[in-house]
Structure 1
Amino acid sequence: MQDALPADSRLALDLALTVRHDGHGGVADDLTDPAGLTAWVRAHADALPLAPDYAADARGLAAVRDLRAAVRALFAHAVRPGAPSPADAARLLPVAQALDRLNTAAARLPTVPVLHWTDGADPRVGRRPVPDGDDLDAALAQAVMAFLTGPDRQRLRACHAPRCVRYFLKDHPRQEWCRPSCGNRARVARHHERHKQAS
């Protein structure tokens, strides 16, 4: 289930999900001001290499919003041939621009090599970010890279239930929507459309 995702996968998805359905037929954005970003970062403090008293400013907010636009464009690219989320389908960044934005952000956070060696497996070297409170977008970019190059990317889908704009990880072969409530809305909409056509 999605709650048991690796931190990088959860963080990448949660960043994309700061654009969401507002409950009234529109789209809401959780990152409209520095206070919104501060609250989001503090809610994800366990997955980010930042000081616990992190407070966003306008520059940091702009950087994270720019990165989120790149992430949503790359998620749309990852779900092909399926359709992207309707929230930004008409205004997606070109893939090359999204990749450049992601790579540029990720390059600002230095990493150090870390040896991993579990029983029954060969040793392998990974990379770990060096914490720096000014590099939130860089830390997020590296988490997104880990997600996009990891196995969870193959399960990424856009939910196409009425009014939903979320991306989700498909947990079983028949799953079509991000949540049961989206499945219910989709079935009700199909039922309504069939009865409307029959009239």
Structure 2
Amino acid sequence: MDATRLALDLAVTIRHDGNGGVADDLADTAGLAAWTADRAAALDCAEDGPPPADEALLTAVRELRAAVRSLFARAVRPGPPSSADAHRLLPEDEALARLNAAAARVPTAPRLVWEPGAPPVLRDLPAGAPPAADRLTAALARAALAFLAGPDRDLLRACPAPRCVRYFVKDHARQEWCTPSCGNRARVARHHERRRRSGDV
């Protein structure tokens, strides 16, 4: 999983719930445990498994997510941010400080990994033996920093569909929504609005 995917995965743990509200995949420690288990390799937790999902780790990950979503809102300007958190964005300097501090908790060192039959790969791995919770939050922060400093940032969008709260990376020139279902919902909403204005409803 690359930095783009991991950063987006964290941001979209806040999503439309299908009933007009917002769902939070990280609402509790069980949600965090499931989310981190699915991404253990990308979170520098593949060998030992993710750390126990306790309240402290949940708070740390949710604080990182708030920073990521605040910086995503900056990245999509001049377009509007996601409606889920447009009213509660962190100040940009605070969001940057939060991400940078989390990334710095775990120093990394380059290591050459060369599996039989595969080309060599240079990876930045944690130096020493930092606590698993620090490795996890640092990996999330580094992924977000890499995404925000990389070329995909220019393709980041907030989905404009009614009730959608997701960010997405625009895959092709005509993509307007995060998913086809959001596109359908937007078209239906426009259709109903046109009918309402013309008095057909």
Shorter chain as denominator, the TM-score bin is 0.7 to 0.9
Letter in 1 for 2:141: A
Q: Deviations over 1:69-116 (max 9, x none)?
A: 000000000010111000000111111110011111111011113579
Q: Give, in angstroms, the shift of residue 158 of structure 1.
A: 0.4
Please say if residues 129 and 139 of structure 1, whose CA atoms lie closer than 8 Å, have aligned partners that are also in contact. no
Please say if residues 7 and 147 of structure 2, whose CA atoms lie closer than 8 Å, have aligned partners that are also in contact. yes
| 1:33-112 matched pairs, under 5 angstroms | 33-50=28-45, 51-52=48-49, 54-112=51-109
Structure 2 length-normalised TM: 0.87
Match of 1:113 among 88, 94, 110: 110
Q: How many residues are matched? A: 186
Structure 1 length-normalised TM: 0.88
Partner of 1:158 in structure 2? Answer: 158
Partner of 1:121 in structure 2? Answer: none
Q: Give, in angstroms, the shift of residue 126 of structure 1.
A: 7.2
Letter in 1 for 2:36: V
Q: Give, in angstroms, the shift of residue 134 of structure 1.
A: 2.2
CA distance in 2, matches of 1:128, 1:81: 36
Counterpart secondary structure, 1:89: coil
| 1:172-191 matched pairs, under 5 angstroms | 172-191=172-191
Please say if residues 3 and 147 of structure 2, whose CA atoms lie closer than 8 Å, have aligned partners that are also in contact. yes
CA distance in 2, matches of 1:138, 1:167: 22
Percentage identity across aligned positions?
A: 65
Partner of 2:15 in structure 1? Answer: 20
Structure 1 regions of 5+ residues with no counterpart? 1-5, 117-124
Change (3 A) 1:53 1:109: closer
CA distance in 1, matches of 2:123, 2:148: 16
Please say if residues 103 and 142 of structure 2, whose CA atoms lie closer than 8 Å, have aligned partners that are also in contact. yes
CA RMSD of aligned residues (A): 1.7
CA distance in 1, matches of 2:141, 2:112: 22
Letter in 2 for 1:17: V
CA distance in 2, matches of 1:77, 1:10: 19
Counterpart secondary structure, 2:160: coil
